[in-house]
Structure 1
Amino acid sequence: MKRYFLAFIMLISFFNSEAQIEEDKPKLVVGIVVDQMRYDYLTRFWNKFGEDGFKRLINDGFSFKNNHFNYIPTYTGPGHASVFTGTTPAAHGIISNSWFNKFEDKVVYCAGDDSVESVGTESPVGKMSPHRMLSTTFADENRLHTQMKGKTIGIALKDRGAILPAGHTANAAYWFHGQDEAKWITSTFYMNELPQWVKDFNNSGKAKTYLKPWNTLQDITAYTESGDDETNFEFGFQGKETATFPYNLPELASKNGQYEIIKATPFGNDLTAEFAKAAIEGEALGQDGITDVLTLSFSSTDYVGHNFGVNSKEIQDTYLRLDLALADFLKYLDQKIGEDEYTVFLTADHGGVDVPAYLNTRRIPAGYFNDIKAKELLEAYVKNEFKADSLIQNVSNTQVFLDYDVLAQEDLDCDKVQEKIAHYLLQQPYISRVYTRDQLQTGAFTNGIGYLIQQGYHQKRSGDVLFVLDPGYIIYPEKGTTHGSGFLYDTHVPLIFYGKGIEKGSTYERSEIPDIAPTISSFLGISFPNAATGKPLTEILEK
């Protein structure tokens, strides 16, 4: 009798816990990705931030201070896909922003889709969809769980930053088309005509108001957390001799893509936040008892980083302004959704390396890898070694693709060819490691660079030989910065959870990007994304 009574108590407890999950669900989940945000931007600029943006998220939320990407390459497309699918390119298939498709014998774009049409513009820049992403996102799973009643909207200046996080079942994804239009657009993958609220926003001319002079938010002499304003390490804008404040955007626009220039300033983030508010209003997000999802990517930080580098006055000003935009957006959520009715997480899609030319001035080993010359030398070596023309089909993204038809015609052993190419590449300057397809498909790396390569390696889409550059070496011009490696400057990014159901605190325990989607899924009581490999971060859940 006692056993049956205990079973009855456990059953009651189970139903109570399930009811509690439903009760604790937020009305809106906002997944924020800050493009190219290194973790140390939080600590470097902390004393200049206000109290209601980044500081509010950290002080009143839960911060993972040792959060990393666990794969290579650390690019925008793979980063956004990994955050929301809970897995790595090995499973979700977004192995880069663009990659060589050996089956089509051409380079393909991660969000490109010629089967759809642009909506909101006559330009082909709207021919985009998530069809190359092979797995679901947590937003997809929320849609399925709620019988498609919970809405999903994706927003970013970049198409891939809007499309990949929102997933395959999204109600819509919107991205910004500058040029001479300054419009938010989408594709026929989602709809055949823009909703009235988007038309109204575009017709209001609000986007065009961000084409205005850009000067520092605070006195530039107070920006002691960044380098000199005038250096040899920045590109700047066409039409201005020096990369120094102020920037007269209306005067510079004609030589810098017209309204496209807005993307490369902090005003692009402001515009994104304003459009996000319009989306919440227009789609009535968070206005009922069914959880909606808004995916929001701030892309301007990446454009500014590429242009000016991670130690520039411009990047500091961009983050101080983003801090204000976040504070304003959180206040809006308080008023529109309710202070304890929404949950936010904030992370990044990758970090960024200090400009190698700058590092050289500090006597730190760093530099530039000439991939064009390296390819020419590799092709000459292969032709001489194997007496075969066109054996290499493509070299891109530090991957070598072999032509299997030529291998068969010349009766060459694929594994031996890979081994010889790998041995040759390892002798070249600035290449630190080389991996073959055979190694990655038959071996199992448990740590280090080999593990990161393997997690980013997709058997059908990746190449036959992959190489890794030395720390601080990049394939990029000698000004501005980039990303893509497995070194800490590219993998270490913020991860903050805030809002309904989130415990306050922080940890230095390691967390990884694929942990985010399973955490949100667990929080919502829905299925994990179908290829998820991460684990729920239980530290954030209120006890």
Structure 2
Amino acid sequence: MDKKVRKILSSLIAILAVTNLEAQQQVPKLVVCVTVDQLRGDYIEYFYNTFGERGFKRLFNEGKVYQNIRFDFSNLDEASAFATLFTGSNPCFNGISSNYKYDFSNEKEISILWDSSYLGNYTRENYSPKALFSSTIGDELKIASKGRSDVYAIAPNVEAAILSAGHAANGAFWIDNLNGKWATTTYYKSVPWYVERYNSGTESLSARLDKMVWTPSLPLDKLNAFPYTLDEIPFKYTFNERDVACYPRLKTTPFVNKEVNRLAMQFLEYAGFGTRTAPDMLSVTYYAGNFLGNMNKEYTHEIQDTYCQLDKDIEQLLDAIDKKVGLSKTLVVFTGSGYYKSEEEYTQELDSYVTGGEFHPKRCVALLNMYMMAIYGQQTNWVTGYYNNQIYLNRKAIEDAKLDLAEVQNKAAAFIKEFSGVQHVTTDNSLVFGDWNEGTAKFRQGTHHLKRGDLIIELQPGWKINKDDPKEKVKVIRNNAVLTPLIFLGNGLKPERIYREVKATEVAPSVTYILRIRPPNASQSLPLRELAVGNGQ
């Protein structure tokens, strides 16, 4: 090889090395985490022909797309999903296993985030992130930047807002169920002036409510993804503030995503994102589940219209980010919550074929208590109660009787296992001391040892949970997986389709890797390898 060729090759290698180094050193000025509650990847595919070119299609065509993320535990809901995504850890570490917990002393269900130490702003409710035991992406960004980064979260519901914001965030905002205002908690120190102005002005949700009517955004013959939508009558929903369920209903319509965007636009306009020496972070939550009035209908025009309108909302957000900060300087992380909520109803004829029977928790608790009185010979309440597929024993009574807790749990589990419809029972003791296997790993991952019951019950699919409460509907057990895409867009990332399944716990360490900060303190997963090699360049 002559000297001239060697010189050219050397120059090319040097240029490539410098270019790759620059790519690796690129840290975004802004991170926008877009999480869609109850997003279904199969629905994106079914409704694809109704989408424009700059919403869902832009994400899938220009982003680094993972086909599906998997959560390592069952009984997912909004709180447990968001805590997992933003801490990079499962409930066994982060402490958030469900939206609610049960206060047996006062016999009522309360939010997992309820905290009487803090007042609400624009809400009567009391919340804080203190029930979350792990740090979040935003927390680590605040620590790394010594507070210079701004971290905010916007969501329809309090669980998504607070858990995607974290402990050290500037603020977390959600729509209050009573007044429709953008609410927060005094745990976060201040409310930006533009949020105050929005809540009190003509832009507020309550001021526009009487003009909001949900009708199909496309002709019904375009909403044709399901052959099961036999009713050709266009739907129409209005909202009245005098209705106690007004705002909870509205939060299950496409209007809620437009409200989220309205506030997000205020932050993009006035919060100074991307202008600081350290990166900023904004978490945005959308909704793509069933309409509250249609929970018992699986295939509807409403759900198709929700996705069609969400496509436009995503387009608006991406365009606003591009205009204000630039997508080349912004990392957009798009995914869903990995579960889907519905209330199944069957005709009398189908019911006998599809469902296996009914499990009655109250009867189960009563019979277990009688059994324990028989074997331990004392007339006392050995069982505190049942909640969320878990039975809580009276540990004080067990301790006073000088009984071995592990033995009591095992005997109770053996008794419950004989109930019709019960597929598996595991004990707290077995999960604490490592006597668990692949079949029960999901119970360990999905619960925290300080908060779970003594027995965890798994029912067979198709069985119903009947709480013998006329105010509550009978719940049908389903254990279906929900296809949930994960997409990284912007910040110079090249488009790519990756067909392997990834874990939900890998999202947070991948984001922090790109930000060049530590992962959240309970995260044990490595960054996704496609992002960890030169940032995918």
Match of 1:519 in 2: 510
1:142 aligns with 2:136: no
Task: Answer yes or no: is the 8 Å Cα contact 1:253–1:261 preserved in 2.
Answer: no
Task: Answer yes or no: is the 8 Å Cα contact 1:268–1:300 preserved in 2.
Answer: no
Match of 2:457 in 1: 467
Task: Answer yes or no: is the 8 Å Cα contact 1:35–1:76 preserved in 2.
Answer: yes
3-state SS in 2 of match to 1:66: strand
**Change over 3 Å in CA distance of 1:501–1:488 after alignment to 2:** farther
CA distance in 2, matches of 1:106, 1:348: 30
Match of 1:351 in 2: 339
User: 5 Å matches for 1:247-396?
Assistant: 247-250=236-239, 253-299=241-287, 301=289, 304=292, 307-352=295-340, 355-357=343-345, 361=350, 364=354, 369-388=359-378, 389-396=380-387
Task: Answer yes or no: is the 8 Å Cα contact 1:229–1:312 preserved in 2.
Answer: yes
CA distance in 2, matches of 1:410, 1:217: 65
**Structure 2 spans left out of the alignment, 5+ residues:** 1-13
**Change over 3 Å in CA distance of 1:341–1:177 after alignment to 2:** same
Query: In structure 1, which of residues 16, 21, 34 is the aligned counterpart of residue 36 of structure 2?
Result: 34
Q: Which amino acid aligns with 1:287?
A: T
Shift in Å, 1:500: 1.1
Q: Which amino acid aligns with 1:110?
A: I
Shift in Å, 1:135: 0.8
Match of 1:128 in 2: 127
Query: In structure 2, which of residues 493, 508, 522 is the aligned counterpart of residue 502 of structure 1?
Result: 493
Shift in Å, 1:83: 0.4
**Change over 3 Å in CA distance of 1:34–1:383 after alignment to 2:** farther
Task: Answer yes or no: is the 8 Å Cα contact 1:128–1:187 preserved in 2.
Answer: yes
CA distance in 2, matches of 1:260, 1:471: 29
1:542 aligns with 2:536: yes
Shift in Å, 1:258: 3.7
CA distance in 1, matches of 2:247, 2:80: 27
Shift in Å, 1:203: 2.4
User: 5 Å matches for 1:11-410?
Assistant: 20=22, 23-100=25-102, 108-119=110-121, 121=122, 123-125=123-125, 127-179=126-178, 181-192=179-190, 194-206=191-203, 207-208=205-206, 209=208, 211=210, 212-226=212-226, 228-229=228-229, 245-250=234-239, 253-299=241-287, 301=289, 304=292, 307-352=295-340, 355-357=343-345, 361=350, 364=354, 369-388=359-378, 389-410=380-401
Please say which of residues 203-212 and 161-170 is displaced more in the overlay: 203-212
Please say which of residues 218-227 and 389-398 is displaced more in the overlay: 218-227
Task: Answer yes or no: is the 8 Å Cα contact 1:307–1:480 preserved in 2.
Answer: no
Q: Which amino acid aligns with 2:238?
A: L
Shift in Å, 1:175: 1.0
CA distance in 1, matches of 2:219, 2:360: 39
Match of 1:441 in 2: 432
Task: Answer yes or no: is the 8 Å Cα contact 2:249–2:291 preserved in 1.
Answer: no
3-state SS in 2 of match to 1:346: strand
Task: Answer yes or no: is the 8 Å Cα contact 2:462–2:476 preserved in 1.
Answer: no
CA distance in 2, matches of 1:16, 1:145: 27
CA distance in 1, matches of 2:525, 2:209: 39
Q: Which amino acid aligns with 2:338?
A: H
CA distance in 2, matches of 1:353, 1:265: 14
CA distance in 1, matches of 2:194, 2:510: 32
Task: Answer yes or no: is the 8 Å Cα contact 1:269–1:298 preserved in 2.
Answer: yes
Shift in Å, 1:219: 1.7
**Change over 3 Å in CA distance of 1:358–1:34 after alignment to 2:** farther
Superimposed CA distance per residue, residues 232-256 of structure 1 (whole angstroms, 9 cap, x where no aligned partner): xxxxxxxxxxx97423314x55335
Match of 1:238 in 2: none
Shift in Å, 1:407: 0.7
**Structure 1 spans left out of the alignment, 5+ residues:** 1-11, 232-242
**Change over 3 Å in CA distance of 1:356–1:303 after alignment to 2:** closer
**Change over 3 Å in CA distance of 1:303–1:393 after alignment to 2:** farther
1:458 aligns with 2:448: yes
**Change over 3 Å in CA distance of 1:461–1:306 after alignment to 2:** farther
3-state SS in 2 of match to 1:83: helix
**Change over 3 Å in CA distance of 1:60–1:136 after alignment to 2:** same
Task: Answer yes or no: is the 8 Å Cα contact 1:305–1:480 preserved in 2.
Answer: no
Shift in Å, 1:169: 0.5
Q: With structure 1 as the length reference, what TM-score do the two structures score?
A: 0.85
CA distance in 1, matches of 2:241, 2:350: 33
Q: Which amino acid aligns with 2:456?
A: L
Query: In structure 2, which of residues 380, 386, 405 is the aligned counterpart of residue 414 of structure 1?
Result: 405
CA distance in 1, matches of 2:360, 2:227: 27
Superimposed CA distance per residue, residues 157-188 of structure 1 (whole angstroms, 9 cap, x where no aligned partner): 10111011111100111111243x32112111
Superimposed CA distance per residue, residues 249-306 of structure 1 (whole angstroms, 9 cap, x where no aligned partner): 14x5533534443212110111111111112223112233421111111146366497
Match of 2:7 in 1: none
Task: Answer yes or no: is the 8 Å Cα contact 2:355–2:464 preserved in 1.
Answer: no
Q: Find the structure with the greater CA-based Rg.
A: 2
Shift in Å, 1:350: 2.8
3-state SS in 1 of match to 2:345: helix
Please say which of residues 210-219 and 513-522 is displaced more in the overlay: 210-219
Q: With structure 2 as the length reference, what TM-score do the two structures score?
A: 0.86
Q: Which amino acid aligns with 1:542?
A: G
Task: Answer yes or no: is the 8 Å Cα contact 2:89–2:524 preserved in 1.
Answer: yes
Q: Which amino acid aligns with 2:201?
A: S
Q: Which amino acid aligns with 1:140?
A: D
CA distance in 1, matches of 2:497, 2:449: 37
Q: Which amino acid aligns with 2:73?
A: Y
Shift in Å, 1:78: 1.0
Please say which of residues 213-222 and 325-334 is displaced more in the overlay: 213-222
